[in-house]
Amino acid sequence: MSINLKQAYDLFISSREEYCQDTTISNYKNTLRYFLSFMEEHRGVPVKEIDIDTIDKTDLSAYTLYLREKPKFKNHPFNTELKSPISKRSIRTYQVDVRTFFNFLFNEEYIKKELTKKYKIIKAESKVIVPLSVDDVAILDGLYNPKCEMGLRNLCLIHLMLDAGLRRSEVINLELSHVNFDHNYILVVNGKGSKDRTVPLAPRLKKMLFKYAIAYRPACDHEYFLCNGNSDNTKLTENSIKMLFSRMIKHTELKRLYPHLLRHTFATAYIMQGGDLESLRIYLGHTDISITQKYLHLATQYGTLNYDVYKLDKKFFRRYS
Q: Is residue 306 part of a domain?
A: yes
**Contact of 287 with 194, CB cutoff 8 Å:** no
Q: How many CB atoms lie within 10 A of CB 29?
A: 13
Assigned domain for 118 exists:
no
Domain final position from 60, 88, 107 = 107
Residues 247 and 304 placed together within one structural domain of the fold: yes
Q: What is the CATH number of the domain that holds 14?
A: 1.10.150
Burial of 230 (0-12, 13-18, 19+ CB in 10 A): exposed
Known active-site residue 76:
no
How far apart CA 13 and CA 101 sit, in angstroms, is 9
Q: Are residues 139 and 199 in the same domain?
A: yes
pLDDT of residue 231: 67
**Residue 286 designated active-site:** yes
Shared domain for 100 and 184, answered yes or no, is no
* Residue 178 annotated as catalytic: no
Does residue 115 form part of some domain?
A: no
Per-residue pLDDT tens, the chain, 321 aa: give them.
Answer: 689 999 999 999 999 988 887 778 888 999 999 999 999 999 999 999 999 999 999 999 999 999 988 775 455 444 444 456 788 888 999 999 999 999 999 999 999 888 888 888 888 767 789 999 999 999 999 999 999 999 999 999 999 999 999 999 999 999 999 999 999 999 999 877 668 899 999 999 999 999 999 998 877 778 999 988 766 788 888 889 999 999 999 999 899 999 999 999 999 999 999 999 999 999 999 988 988 999 999 999 999 999 999 999 988 877 654
Residue 114 lies in a domain: no
Give which of 158, 313, 141, 180 is closest to 226, Cα–Cα. Answer: 158
Rounded to whole angstroms, how far apart are CA atoms 163 and 77? 34
Out of 6, 88, 92, 192, the active site residue is 192
Q: Which of these is catalytic: 167, 168, 178, 264? A: 167
**208, part of any domain:** yes
* 3-state percent breakdown (helix, strand, coil) of the chain, nearest 5: 55, 5, 40
User: Please, are residues 232 and 241 in contact by the beta-carbon 8 Å criterion?
Assistant: no
Tell me how far apart the alpha carbons of residues 195 and 244 are, in angstroms, rounded to a whole number: 27
Instruction: Annotate 80-132 with DSSP letters as a single string.
Output: PP-SSBPPHHHHHHHHHHHHHHHHHHHHTTSSSS-TTTT-PPPPPPPPPP---
Burial class (CB within 10 angstroms; exposed 0-12, middle 13-18, buried 19+) of 308: exposed
Any residues with CB less than 8 A from the CB of 11 and at least 6 apart, and which?
3, 105, 108, 110
- C-alpha 301/C-alpha 274 separation (Å) is 15
The residue from 54, 89, 107 where one domain ends is: 107
Q: Are residues 145 and 284 in the same domain?
A: yes
Please give the residue range of the domain that contains residue 66: 5-107
Which among 58, 74, 59 has a CA at the least distance from the CA of 5?
59
Task: Kindly report each contact of residues 258-263 with a partner whose C-beta sits within 8 Å and lies 24 or more positions away, as own/partner.
Answer: 259/161, 259/168, 260/167, 260/168, 261/129, 261/131, 261/132, 262/132, 262/158, 262/161, 262/162, 263/161, 263/165, 263/166, 263/167
State how far the alpha carbon of 39 is from the alpha carbons of 28, 48, 193, 277, in Å: 16, 11, 31, 46
Same domain for 55 and 143: no
pLDDT at residue 222, as a whole number: 86
250 included as an active-site residue: no
Backbone angles phi, psi at 19, to 5 degrees: -145, -10
**Same domain (yes/no): 177, 41:** no
* Helices 277-284 and 259-272, axial angle in degrees (round to 10): 160
From 63, 212, 224, 295, the catalytic residue: 295
Is 28 domain-assigned?
Answer: yes
For position 276, which CATH number holds?
A: 1.10.443.10
Q: Which of 33, 260, 297, 311 is catalytic?
A: 260
Count: domains in the chain: 2
Residues 97 and 239 in one domain: no
Q: Both 82 and 201 in a single domain?
A: no
User: Does residue 290 sit in the same domain as residue 203?
Assistant: yes
The whole-number pLDDT of residue 116 equals: 86
Q: What angle do CA 85, 8, 11 make, to 5 degrees?
A: 110
Annotation says 33 is catalytic = no
Whether 164 and 205 map to the same domain: the answer is: yes
310 is catalytic: no
Select which of 70, 217, 263, 264 is catalytic. 263
Give a yes or no: residue 92 inside a domain.
yes
Measured over the CA atoms of residue 238, residue 242, residue 248 and residue 254, the dihedral's sign is positive
Bridge-partner residues for 15, per DSSP?
none
**Segment 49-92, tens digit of pLDDT:** 999 999 999 999 999 999 988 775 455 444 444 456 788 888 99
Residue 75, phi then psi, degrees to nearest 5: 65, 10
